[in-house]
Amino acid sequence: MNLEKVEVVPSRMLRVRIPQEQGVRSVFCRTESGTAGTGKPMPKKLESEEGEKYHFAVGSDHAGFSLKERIKEYLCGEGRAVLDVGIHTLRSVGTGPVAEKVGRLVAKGKCEKGILVCGTGIGMAMGANKVFGIRAALCYNQFTASYAKRHNDANVICLGARVLGEELAIECVRTWLREEFLRDKYAQRLAYLDVIENHSCRNKLAKKGE
Protein backbone atom coordinates (compact mmCIF):
# COMPACT_ATOMS: atom_id res chain seq x y z
CA MET A 1 0.00 0.00 0.00
CA ASN A 2 1.60 3.24 -1.15
CA LEU A 3 1.16 6.14 1.23
CA GLU A 4 1.07 9.80 0.35
CA LYS A 5 1.24 11.36 3.77
CA VAL A 6 1.21 10.58 7.45
CA GLU A 7 0.32 13.24 9.97
CA VAL A 8 -0.65 13.45 13.61
CA VAL A 9 -3.97 15.25 14.08
CA PRO A 10 -5.10 17.00 17.27
CA SER A 11 -7.42 14.18 18.33
CA ARG A 12 -4.33 12.04 18.94
CA MET A 13 -5.21 9.72 16.09
CA LEU A 14 -2.85 8.94 13.26
CA ARG A 15 -4.28 9.81 9.87
CA VAL A 16 -2.81 7.96 6.93
CA ARG A 17 -3.73 9.32 3.54
CA ILE A 18 -4.00 6.82 0.73
CA PRO A 19 -4.06 7.59 -3.01
CA GLN A 20 -7.55 8.67 -4.08
CA GLU A 21 -7.68 6.35 -7.07
CA GLN A 22 -7.89 3.39 -4.71
CA GLY A 23 -11.26 4.69 -3.56
CA VAL A 24 -10.14 4.96 0.05
CA ARG A 25 -9.20 8.27 1.59
CA SER A 26 -8.22 7.76 5.20
CA VAL A 27 -7.13 5.16 7.69
CA PHE A 28 -7.61 6.13 11.31
CA CYS A 29 -5.88 4.51 14.24
CA ARG A 30 -4.81 5.34 17.74
CA THR A 31 -1.31 6.49 18.61
CA GLU A 32 0.95 4.56 20.97
CA SER A 33 0.66 6.82 24.01
CA GLY A 34 -2.20 8.41 25.95
CA THR A 35 -5.86 7.56 26.22
CA ALA A 36 -7.57 10.34 24.21
CA GLY A 37 -10.08 10.84 26.96
CA THR A 38 -11.43 7.28 26.99
CA GLY A 39 -9.46 6.09 30.01
CA LYS A 40 -8.33 3.09 27.97
CA PRO A 41 -4.77 2.30 26.89
CA MET A 42 -4.15 2.91 23.22
CA PRO A 43 -3.02 0.03 21.01
CA LYS A 44 0.12 0.33 18.94
CA LYS A 45 -0.21 2.38 15.79
CA LEU A 46 -0.88 0.59 12.55
CA GLU A 47 1.99 -0.42 10.33
CA SER A 48 1.14 0.62 6.80
CA GLU A 49 2.01 -2.46 4.78
CA GLU A 50 0.41 -4.72 2.22
CA GLY A 51 -1.58 -7.40 3.94
CA GLU A 52 -2.48 -5.07 6.81
CA LYS A 53 -5.86 -5.72 8.37
CA TYR A 54 -8.29 -3.36 10.04
CA HIS A 55 -11.02 -3.81 12.59
CA PHE A 56 -13.62 -1.98 10.51
CA ALA A 57 -14.42 -0.74 7.04
CA VAL A 58 -16.91 2.12 7.09
CA GLY A 59 -18.73 3.88 4.29
CA SER A 60 -21.72 6.07 3.56
CA ASP A 61 -23.57 8.01 0.94
CA HIS A 62 -24.25 11.74 1.27
CA ALA A 63 -27.24 11.20 3.57
CA GLY A 64 -25.18 9.11 5.97
CA PHE A 65 -21.97 11.12 5.87
CA SER A 66 -22.34 12.95 9.19
CA LEU A 67 -23.39 9.84 11.10
CA LYS A 68 -20.56 7.83 9.53
CA GLU A 69 -18.09 10.44 10.78
CA ARG A 70 -19.57 10.23 14.26
CA ILE A 71 -19.39 6.42 14.28
CA LYS A 72 -15.81 6.55 13.04
CA GLU A 73 -14.94 8.92 15.87
CA TYR A 74 -16.49 6.53 18.39
CA LEU A 75 -14.62 3.52 17.02
CA CYS A 76 -11.30 5.33 17.04
CA GLY A 77 -11.96 6.38 20.61
CA GLU A 78 -12.30 2.71 21.45
CA GLY A 79 -8.91 1.96 19.93
CA ARG A 80 -10.23 0.38 16.72
CA ALA A 81 -8.44 0.68 13.40
CA VAL A 82 -10.88 2.00 10.82
CA LEU A 83 -10.66 2.06 7.04
CA ASP A 84 -12.95 4.74 5.58
CA VAL A 85 -13.93 4.06 1.97
CA GLY A 86 -15.92 7.30 1.68
CA ILE A 87 -17.69 9.32 0.76
CA HIS A 88 -15.75 12.32 2.00
CA THR A 89 -18.06 15.15 0.91
CA LEU A 90 -21.80 15.81 0.86
CA ARG A 91 -21.95 15.28 -2.90
CA SER A 92 -24.92 13.11 -3.84
CA VAL A 93 -23.92 9.53 -4.67
CA GLY A 94 -25.58 6.14 -4.97
CA THR A 95 -25.17 3.48 -2.28
CA GLY A 96 -24.03 0.65 -4.56
CA PRO A 97 -20.32 1.40 -5.07
CA VAL A 98 -19.76 2.19 -1.39
CA ALA A 99 -21.62 -0.92 -0.22
CA GLU A 100 -19.58 -3.04 -2.63
CA LYS A 101 -16.26 -1.61 -1.43
CA VAL A 102 -17.02 -2.30 2.22
CA GLY A 103 -18.45 -5.72 1.41
CA ARG A 104 -15.38 -6.78 -0.56
CA LEU A 105 -13.00 -5.60 2.15
CA VAL A 106 -14.82 -7.72 4.71
CA ALA A 107 -15.31 -10.72 2.42
CA LYS A 108 -11.60 -10.74 1.54
CA GLY A 109 -10.60 -10.53 5.20
CA LYS A 110 -8.98 -7.12 4.84
CA CYS A 111 -11.37 -5.78 7.49
CA GLU A 112 -13.01 -7.80 10.25
CA LYS A 113 -16.37 -6.03 10.09
CA GLY A 114 -18.16 -3.33 8.16
CA ILE A 115 -20.53 -0.48 8.95
CA LEU A 116 -22.55 1.24 6.25
CA VAL A 117 -24.75 4.30 6.59
CA CYS A 118 -27.28 5.84 4.21
CA GLY A 119 -30.64 7.56 4.68
CA THR A 120 -32.55 4.45 5.78
CA GLY A 121 -29.86 1.75 5.69
CA ILE A 122 -31.93 -0.22 3.19
CA GLY A 123 -29.95 0.60 0.06
CA MET A 124 -26.65 -0.21 1.75
CA ALA A 125 -27.99 -3.53 3.04
CA MET A 126 -29.25 -4.54 -0.39
CA GLY A 127 -25.93 -3.66 -2.01
CA ALA A 128 -23.66 -5.27 0.58
CA ASN A 129 -25.63 -8.53 0.56
CA LYS A 130 -24.88 -8.93 -3.13
CA VAL A 131 -21.23 -9.59 -2.22
CA PHE A 132 -20.60 -13.29 -1.60
CA GLY A 133 -19.79 -13.98 2.02
CA ILE A 134 -21.44 -10.86 3.38
CA ARG A 135 -24.18 -11.03 5.99
CA ALA A 136 -25.37 -7.44 6.22
CA ALA A 137 -28.09 -6.63 8.73
CA LEU A 138 -30.26 -3.53 8.82
CA CYS A 139 -30.36 -2.34 12.44
CA TYR A 140 -32.72 0.28 13.78
CA ASN A 141 -32.65 -0.35 17.54
CA GLN A 142 -30.67 -2.27 20.15
CA PHE A 143 -32.80 -5.38 19.76
CA THR A 144 -32.11 -5.72 16.04
CA ALA A 145 -28.42 -4.95 16.61
CA SER A 146 -28.24 -7.65 19.27
CA TYR A 147 -29.89 -10.33 17.15
CA ALA A 148 -27.91 -9.31 14.09
CA LYS A 149 -24.98 -10.86 15.93
CA ARG A 150 -26.56 -13.43 18.26
CA HIS A 151 -28.65 -15.28 15.67
CA ASN A 152 -27.24 -14.12 12.34
CA ASP A 153 -23.52 -13.45 12.91
CA ALA A 154 -23.76 -10.31 10.78
CA ASN A 155 -20.35 -9.16 9.60
CA VAL A 156 -21.76 -5.86 8.33
CA ILE A 157 -24.44 -3.65 9.85
CA CYS A 158 -26.35 -0.96 8.02
CA LEU A 159 -27.80 2.11 9.70
CA GLY A 160 -30.19 4.84 8.59
CA ALA A 161 -29.14 8.39 9.38
CA ARG A 162 -32.68 9.62 8.71
CA VAL A 163 -34.13 6.96 10.99
CA LEU A 164 -31.74 6.89 13.95
CA GLY A 165 -30.40 9.61 16.19
CA GLU A 166 -26.66 9.69 16.76
CA GLU A 167 -26.77 8.21 20.24
CA LEU A 168 -29.05 5.34 19.27
CA ALA A 169 -26.86 4.60 16.25
CA ILE A 170 -23.77 4.44 18.46
CA GLU A 171 -25.65 2.21 20.89
CA CYS A 172 -26.54 -0.12 18.01
CA VAL A 173 -22.85 -0.37 17.10
CA ARG A 174 -21.89 -0.91 20.73
CA THR A 175 -24.52 -3.63 21.17
CA TRP A 176 -23.52 -5.44 17.99
CA LEU A 177 -19.89 -5.50 19.07
CA ARG A 178 -20.71 -6.66 22.58
CA GLU A 179 -22.83 -9.64 21.57
CA GLU A 180 -21.53 -13.06 20.51
CA PHE A 181 -22.84 -15.48 17.92
CA LEU A 182 -24.78 -18.32 19.59
CA ARG A 183 -23.78 -20.94 16.99
CA ASP A 184 -25.39 -24.42 17.26
CA LYS A 185 -28.69 -24.35 15.35
CA TYR A 186 -28.03 -20.81 14.16
CA ALA A 187 -24.78 -21.90 12.54
CA GLN A 188 -26.69 -24.58 10.64
CA ARG A 189 -29.17 -22.01 9.43
CA LEU A 190 -26.42 -19.67 8.31
CA ALA A 191 -24.73 -22.48 6.40
CA TYR A 192 -27.71 -22.50 4.07
CA LEU A 193 -26.79 -19.00 2.92
CA ASP A 194 -23.82 -20.58 1.15
CA VAL A 195 -26.23 -22.95 -0.59
CA ILE A 196 -28.30 -20.00 -1.80
CA GLU A 197 -25.21 -18.24 -3.11
CA ASN A 198 -24.11 -21.39 -4.96
CA HIS A 199 -27.57 -21.82 -6.48
CA SER A 200 -27.61 -18.20 -7.61
CA CYS A 201 -24.16 -18.52 -9.16
CA ARG A 202 -25.11 -21.69 -11.05
CA ASN A 203 -28.34 -20.16 -12.32
CA LYS A 204 -26.48 -17.10 -13.58
CA LEU A 205 -23.89 -19.22 -15.36
CA ALA A 206 -26.64 -21.37 -16.86
CA LYS A 207 -28.43 -18.30 -18.24
CA LYS A 208 -25.19 -17.09 -19.83
CA GLY A 209 -24.78 -20.44 -21.51
CA GLU A 210 -28.24 -20.43 -23.09
Are 31 and 14 spatial neighbours (Cβ–Cβ below 8 Å)?
Answer: yes
C-alpha 207 chain-centroid distance: 33
Residue 144, Cβ density class (10 Å: 0-12 exposed, 13-18 middle, ≥19 buried): middle
Active site residue 118: yes
Pairing of strands 13-17, 54-60: unpaired
Task: Report the C-alpha dihedral over residues 67, 14, 39, 180, rounded to 10 degrees.
Answer: 60
Q: Note whether 172 and 141 are within 8 A (CB).
A: yes
Q: Any catalytic annotation for residue 29?
A: no
End-to-end Cα separation, the chain, in angstroms: 42
Residue of 118, 139, 158, 172 with catalytic role: 118
Question: Is 158:128 a contact under the CB 8 Å cutoff?
Answer: yes
Residues identified as active-site: 118, 151
